[in-house]
């Protein structure tokens, strides 16, 4: 800081001028009387004291000024927001330290640079319009855009600007820059979570709808397939009605496959869960895969060396592999590479779990399926798991492949995600919970007895009259003795009073009143010899595959044909456990 208001040079100059002026003054001191000299001396002393006091006052004011100047710079430079003055042409005239750090540059290097140089290229238009409106309207303007930091990374900022005038009358923009990056990121995260929730709710409701429709459809298809089958069995091979009947059957079977896919999406597929090595299932599919994708596509495998035991339905896992392979083939019309990778992952770190995966933490088998195909744009990637979503031409795709995959994976308590960009290919990641043990080989059946329809009694329990009548008809035609029952209560009271053996109970699972497994539990109290065969259009919570495993009763999925039913019945009746 300076010592006084004048430096030494100035003081010497002032002294010289003062002496000159004193020399020119009249009367000179030697002309004065002693009394006048004494008075003059006194005056001079008083003046000197006054001057010293004024000087002291000046010195103090000077110090105060210095300290408030320092405070001003502290406040200005180290303010929590950036301050910038920008000319009408967009050049930086002045900036505080915070602005320099937000713009990722040294303060000195900013001056006379265009402010637009520090803006993310995608947001230049926002800034251009902001500045244009500001100088045109002369009213304060606010905008949000991304500035580039020192590493050239975009960071969200808010610019608040007003017009001021310089001393020479030119308009300038005084701008406040606030860092809102963390706030924006939190907002984006929140938005992502909301989108995810919305998507999950949408999938859930579409699933419920699809499941409901598919269930009712199955009962109707059951009647179409069953009766067409019965009629066909009666026809002579040369009968002209054979062909139309076959057409009806094949259309109904196609419709059955469609409802099967819908049920998979709705996670209501009847599953037979068994411990299986995921790697083994993939290896078993190798040849089929090669044939399916054609010669232009190289299929590679990078499977974890140790077995990946998951509890799953093999046929459903195979269906996933097939749907994925077909999609990959379609995405690589000019050939490419399809890679199947497996590995074990631990999903307990918040980073992974919060990364959109809807699974409980734990160990998972990760199956990665990557292709080098056309890839997907963000909208397709967002919607690809929805039923009936397809980008393929009319008649080329129904849009059920990935929704089936989604439903199967979810029903296995896993999750599936997609990573894709147009032109760079696609990777699907399927997570399935690990936890199953290697299976213990089952003992072979002790002894077999011939299934003799004429001697076997089957109780059929089904609330849907048309389905019940059809099943009874198929069984009676084969020669079985059939007992018909429309619900659990009547079946139980009949079984209690019936004193001959009941060899098999063919029961629906979901019915008003008692459910299939509960009825079966009641019947075996009176007829321990009775075996069970459940028929169901879909699995529900209370007859989940887990329950089914607990009861360990065989299942037949509706809709089934007469021959399927008879084959299943014969299989059970011919084996005495």
Ligand X SMILES: Nc1ncnc2c1ncn2[C@@H]1O[C@H](COP(=O)(O)OP(=O)(O)OP(=O)(O)O)[C@@H](O)[C@H]1O
- Between 87 and 391, CB nearer to ligand X: 391
CA-CA distance, 66 to 72, in Å (whole number)? 10
Residue window 315-354: x/- pattern of binding to ligand X, with contact defined by CB under 6 A: --------x---xx--x-----------------------
| Structure tokens that stand for 320 in this block | 């996933």
Interacting residue with ligand X among 133, 178, 398, 574 (CB under 6 A): 398
**Residue 390 touching ligand X (CB under 6 A):** yes
Cα dihedral value 148, 153, 156, 159, nearest 10: 0
- Between 389 and 551, CB nearer to Mg ion: 389
Shortest Cβ distance from residue 290 to ligand X (Å)?
17
Region near ligand X per CB under 6 A, out of 65-73, 182-190, 394-402, 462-470: 394-402
**Residue 214 touching ligand X (CB under 6 A):** no
Shortest Cβ distance from residue 137 to ligand X (Å)?
47
Shortest Cβ distance from residue 150 to ligand X (Å)?
39
Paired strand residues for 85: 94, 174
**Residue 259 touching ligand X (CB under 6 A):** no
- Between 308 and 384, CB nearer to Mg ion: 384
**Residue 453 touching ligand X (CB under 6 A):** no
Region near Mg ion per CB under 5 A, out of 20-28, 270-278, 374-382, 393-401: 393-401
**Residue 407 touching Mg ion (CB under 5 A):** no
CA-CA distance, 237 to 569, in Å (whole number)? 26
- Between 330 and 486, CB nearer to Mg ion: 330
Cβ-proximal residue to Mg ion, closest one: 401
Extract the runs of DSSP E, i.e. beta strands, from 354-456: 362-371, 415-421, 425-433, 447-448
**86 Cβ neighbours under 8 A, 6+ residues apart:** 92, 93, 115, 131, 161, 172, 173, 175
Shortest Cβ distance from residue 387 to ligand X (Å)?
8
- By a kind-dependent CB cut-off of 5 to 8 A, residue 98 interacts, out of Mg ion, ligand X, none, with none
Interacting residue with Mg ion among 327, 342, 536, 557 (CB under 5 A): 327
**Residue 376 touching ligand X (CB under 6 A):** yes
- By a kind-dependent CB cut-off of 5 to 8 A, residue 84 interacts, out of ligand X, Mg ion, none, with none
Q: Which of 427, 389, 388, 431 lies closest to 408 in space, CA to CA?
A: 431
Helix (H, G, I), strand (E, B) or coil at 566: helix
| Structure tokens that stand for 41 in this block | 């001396």
Shortest Cβ distance from residue 101 to ligand X (Å)?
44
| Structure tokens that stand for 311 in this block | 């509890």
Strand pairing report for 415-421 and 297-302: unpaired
CA-CA distance, 377 to 382, in Å (whole number)? 9
> Within 10 Å of residue 55's Cβ, how many Cβ atoms?
13
Helix (H, G, I), strand (E, B) or coil at 92: strand
Total residues in contact with ligand X, by rule CB under 6 A: 23
Write the burial class of residue 519 (CB in 10 Å: 0-12 exposed, 13-18 middle, 19+ buried). buried
- By a kind-dependent CB cut-off of 5 to 8 A, residue 398 interacts, out of ligand X, Mg ion, none, with ligand X
The values of phi and psi at residue 373, to 5°, are -85, -155
DSSP class of residue 445 equals P
Total residues in contact with Mg ion, by rule CB under 5 A: 2
DSSP-derived secondary structure for 476-492: HHHT-EEEEESSHHHHH
How far CA 107 is from CA of 116, 153, 389, 451, in Å, comes to 16, 19, 54, 94
**Residue 365 touching ligand X (CB under 6 A):** no
- By a kind-dependent CB cut-off of 5 to 8 A, residue 96 interacts, out of Mg ion, ligand X, none, with none
**Residue 134 touching ligand X (CB under 6 A):** no
Region near Mg ion per CB under 5 A, out of 27-35, 270-278, 322-330, 410-418: 322-330
Residue window 272-311: x/- pattern of binding to Mg ion, with contact defined by CB under 5 A: ----------------------------------------
**Residue 82 touching ligand X (CB under 6 A):** no
**23 Cβ neighbours under 8 A, 6+ residues apart:** none
Residue window 411-440: x/- pattern of binding to ligand X, with contact defined by CB under 6 A: ---------------x--------------
Extract the runs of DSSP E, i.e. beta strands, from 373-517: 415-421, 425-433, 447-448, 457-461, 481-485, 504-508
Check: CB of residue 432 under 8 Å from CB of residue 360: no
Interacting residue with ligand X among 148, 222, 317, 400 (CB under 6 A): 400
Question: Which residues contribute to the site for Mg ion (CB under 5 A)?
Answer: 327, 401
Question: Which residues contribute to the site for ligand X (CB under 6 A)?
Answer: 323, 327-328, 331, 371, 373-376, 380, 384, 389-392, 397-403, 426
């Amino acid at each position: 800081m300076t010592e006084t208001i004048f430096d030494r040079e100035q003081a010497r100059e002032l002294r010289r001028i003062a002496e000159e002026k004193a020399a020119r003054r009249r009367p000179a001191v030697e002309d004065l009387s002693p009394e006048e000299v004494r008075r003059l001396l006194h005056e001079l002393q008083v003046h000197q004291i006054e001057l010293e006091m004024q000087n002291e006052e000046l010195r103090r004011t000077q110090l105060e000024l210095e300290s408030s100047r320092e405070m001003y710079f502290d406040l200005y430079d180290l303010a929590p927001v950036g301050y910038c003055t920008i000319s009408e042409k967009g050049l930086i005239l002045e900036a505080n330290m915070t602005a320099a750090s937000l713009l990722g540059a040294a303060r000195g290097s900013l001056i006379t640079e265009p402010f637009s140089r520090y803006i993310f290229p995608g947001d230049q238009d926002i800034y251009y319009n902001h500045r244009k409106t500001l100088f045109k309207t002369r009213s304060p303007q606010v905008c949000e855009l991304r500035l580039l930091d020192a590493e050239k990374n975009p960071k969200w900022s808010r610019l608040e600007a007003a017009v001021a005038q310089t001393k020479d009358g030119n308009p300038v923009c005084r701008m406040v820059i606030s860092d809102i990056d963390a706030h924006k990121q939190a907002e984006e995260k929140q938005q992502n979570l909301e989108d995810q929730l919305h998507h999950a709710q949408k999938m859930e409701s579409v699933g419920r709808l699809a499941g409901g429709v598919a269930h009712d459809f199955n009962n109707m298809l059951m009647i179409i397939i069953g009766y067409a089958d019965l009629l066909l069995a009666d026809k002579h091979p040369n009968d002209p009605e054979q062909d139309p009947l076959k057409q009806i059957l094949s259309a109904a079977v196609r419709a059955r496959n469609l409802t099967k896919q819908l049920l998979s999406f709705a996670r209501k597929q009847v599953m037979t869960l068994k411990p299986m090595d995921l790697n083994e299932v993939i290896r078993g599919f190798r040849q089929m895969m090669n044939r399916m994708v054609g010669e232009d596509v190289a299929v590679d495998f990078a499977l974890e060396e140790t077995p990946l035991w998951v509890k799953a339905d093999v046929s459903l896992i195979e269906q996933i592999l097939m749907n994925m392979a077909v999609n990959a083939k379609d995405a690589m019309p000019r050939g490419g590479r399809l890679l199947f990778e497996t590995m074990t992952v631990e999903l307990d770190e918040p980073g992974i779990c919060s990364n959109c995966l809807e699974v409980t933490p734990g160990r998972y088998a990760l199956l990665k399926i990557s292709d080098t195909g056309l890839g997907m744009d963000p909208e397709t990637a967002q919607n690809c798991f929805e039923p009936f979503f397809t980008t393929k031409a009319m008649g080329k795709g129904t849009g059920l492949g990935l929704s089936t995959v989604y439903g199967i994976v979810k029903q296995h308590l896993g999750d599936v995600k997609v990573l894709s960009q147009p032109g760079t290919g696609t990777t699907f990641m399927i997570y399935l919970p690990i936890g199953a043990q290697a299976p213990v080989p089952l003992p072979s059946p002790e002894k077999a007895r011939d299934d003799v329809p004429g001697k076997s009694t089957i109780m059929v329990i089904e609330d849907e009259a048309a389905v019940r009548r059809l099943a009874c008809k198929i069984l009676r035609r084969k020669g079985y003795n059939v007992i018909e029952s429309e619900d659990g209560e009547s079946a139980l009271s009949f079984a209690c009073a019936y004193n001959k053996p009941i060899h098999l109970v063919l029961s629906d699972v979901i019915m008003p009143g008692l459910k299939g497994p509960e009825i079966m539990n009641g019947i075996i109290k009176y007829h321990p010899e009775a075996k069970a065969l459940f028929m169901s259009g879909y699995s529900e919570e209370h007859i989940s595959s887990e329950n089914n495993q607990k009861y360990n009763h065989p299942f037949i999925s509706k809709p089934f044909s007469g021959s399927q039913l008879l084959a299943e019945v014969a299989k059970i009746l011919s084996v005495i456990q």
